[in-house]
Amino acid sequence: MRKQIASLTSIIFSPFVVGLVIILLVSLESTASVFAAIKWSLILIGLSILPIYLVVICLVRSKKVDSISVNIRRQRHKIYALAVILGGAGSTTLFFLKAPVIMLALFVSGFVGGVIFLAINLRWKISIHAAFVATLVTVMTILYGFVAIIAIVLLLLAAWARLELKHHSPAQLITGMLMAPLVIMVVFYSFGLI
């Protein structure tokens, strides 16, 4: 029963799902209307989550990766490389589209984080689940203040699930939990957002 709960929790806190939530929150908070938020959300999803999701699905179907979570470290290299390319291309696209500054900062953070995680992944596995949930907590805290720190419970739940499934060591989870917020804070600070 614990494994089933951990598996479901891991799916709920997957980078794809958490990434969608982050994009929706940032879009809703940085635009003047629901229509604008939907428009920017679709653009952001099209520049980031959707292409990676489609590539991962194709790789799973062709048995080139073990699962949608890509649990084997060596199988992650190409996914990280794609994320870096999309982060750079997306940042450039958002700059020219004159996207709200927080959206641009989010994509630049994704690019910088992608480069760091790719470099780490060449030698060691880091938890992308923990990194995405930590990013969610950090972005929520930036948007809503310290009341959003309550969302740290989500981070602990996601970490428990990854440990329970034996997909990560405590060190891999802690590194993901710390690295992502650090990147967000440095990039957002450089954009004058915090």
Question: What would the pLDDT profile of 162-190 be if each residue is shown by its tens digit?
Answer: 999 999 999 999 999 999 999 999 999 99
Of the pLDDT bands very low, low, confident and very high (cuts 50, 70, 90), residue 152 is: confident
What 3 state SS string does the chain have?
CHHHHHHHHHHHCCHHHHHHHHHHHHHHHHCCCHHHHHHHHHHHHHHCHHHHHHHHHHHHHCCCCCCCCCCCHHHHHHHHHHHHHHHHHHHHHHHHCCCCHHHHHHHHHHHHHHHHHHHHHCCCCCCHHHHHHHHHHHHHHHHHCHHHHHHHHHHHHHHHHHHHCCCCCHHHHHHHHHHHHHHHHHHHHHCCCC
Q: What is the mean pLDDT of the chain?
A: 93
Using the predicted structure, report yes or no on whether residue 49 has a pLDDT greater than 90.
yes
